[in-house]
């Protein structure tokens, strides 16, 4: 039997520096009954030793793959709400209060609006669009809060998708439940945009969103991603 509270599930792979920063933030949370579960996908840096030595968190290992890691963390959860979070996120000051405000109905899920840690105008525009409820404005960087019973009913994250696994689940939520966008903002790193080029990566992410909306299957989405995204 699960307890009332939030299980925060965070997939990681070679993220030692971000683990330190996020753990510091999570340790200061107040007003929320919660646990933190890191799911490591086979890190080769010092992520594992860092997780093993960090107090007040839980750590499990699972073969790399975001959907599979997230599902593995959900299976270990002790609380009735699941919150899936990327490790390179910075939480808003009233994070706990915003999460609590979204737990009004077991068939309601929620995410945060985001901002990037980079001033590029296209990234500011992209972040501004996350306040819109349309599926094309959703993404894993926004995190996801969902009741574990509703998550199970929807089948969790589809392991066939190594790209757009978050969109696939949110698509099901839109069809069968409620969805709330929290003001946040949750701050996310722009490192992939800096590596690939902002306009270049936004374009290809847009193509992937478009292909997903057309019903293109997970293998073709993965091939496109592997070809154009570093």
Which string of DSSP letters, residue by residue, matches the chain?
--EEEEEEEEEESS-HHHHHHHHHHHHT--S--EEEEEEE---SSSHHHHHHH-TT-EEEE--S-HHHHHHHHHHT--EEEEEE--TTEE--TTHHHHHHHT-S-TTEEEEEEEEESS--HHHHHHHHGGGS-SGGG--GGG-EEEEHHHHHHTTSS-TT-SSSHHHHHHHHHHHHSEEEEEEEEEEE--HHHHHH-HHHHHHHHHHHHHHHHTT--HHHHHHHHHHH--
Identify whether the C-beta of residue 181 lies closer than 8 Å to the C-beta of residue 113. yes
Look at the chain and report how many structural domains it folds into.
Answer: 1
The crossing angle, in degrees rounded to 10, of helices 198-213 and 121-128 is 30
pLDDT band at residue 2 under the 50/70/90 scheme: confident
- pLDDT tens by residue, 98-134: 999 999 999 999 999 999 999 999 999 999 999 999 9
Residue 1 has pLDDT above 90, yes or no: no
Q: Which domain holds residue 128?
A: 3-228
- pLDDT tens by residue, 154-185: 999 999 999 999 999 999 999 999 999 999 99
Which residues are within 8 A (CB) of 188 and not within 5 positions of it... i.e. 6 or more apart? 86, 88, 89, 90, 114, 115, 116, 117, 141
Provide the whole-model pTM. 0.97
Identify whether the C-beta of residue 105 lies closer than 8 Å to the C-beta of residue 36. no
- pLDDT tens by residue, 66-100: 999 999 999 999 999 999 999 999 999 999 999 99
Please give the pLDDT value at position 3. 85
For residue 118, the domain's CATH number is 3.90.550.10
What is the chain's alpha carbon radius of gyration, rounded to the nearest angstrom? 17
Identify whether the C-beta of residue 63 lies closer than 8 Å to the C-beta of residue 33. no
């Amino acid at each position: 039997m699960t307890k009332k509270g939030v299980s925060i599930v965070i997939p990681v792979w070679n993220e030692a520096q971000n683990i330190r920063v996020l753990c510091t933030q999570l340790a200061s949370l107040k007003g929320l009954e919660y646990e933190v579960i890191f799911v490591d996908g086979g890190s080769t840096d010092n992520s594992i030793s860092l997780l093993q030595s960090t107090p007040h968190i839980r750590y499990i290992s699972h073969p790399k793959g975001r959907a599979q890691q997230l599902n593995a963390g959900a299976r270990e959860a002790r609380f009735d709400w699941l919150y899936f979070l990327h490790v390179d996120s910075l939480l808003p000051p009233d994070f706990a209060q915003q999460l609590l405000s979204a737990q009004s109905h077991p068939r309601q899920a929620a995410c945060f609006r985001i901002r990037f840690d980079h001033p590029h105008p296209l990234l500011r525009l992209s972040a501004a669009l996350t306040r819109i409820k349309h599926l094309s404005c959703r993404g894993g960087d926004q995190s996801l809060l969902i009741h574990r019973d509703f998550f199970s009913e929807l089948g969790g994250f589809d392991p066939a998708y190594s790209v757009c696994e978050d969109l696939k689940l949110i698509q099901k939520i839109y069809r069968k439940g409620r969805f709330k966008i929290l003001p946040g903002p949750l701050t996310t790193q722009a490192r992939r945009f800096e590596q690939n080029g902002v306009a270049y990566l936004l374009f290809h992410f847009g193509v992937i969103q478009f292909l997903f909306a057309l019903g293109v299957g997970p293998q073709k989405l993965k091939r496109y991603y592997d070809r154009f995204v570093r």
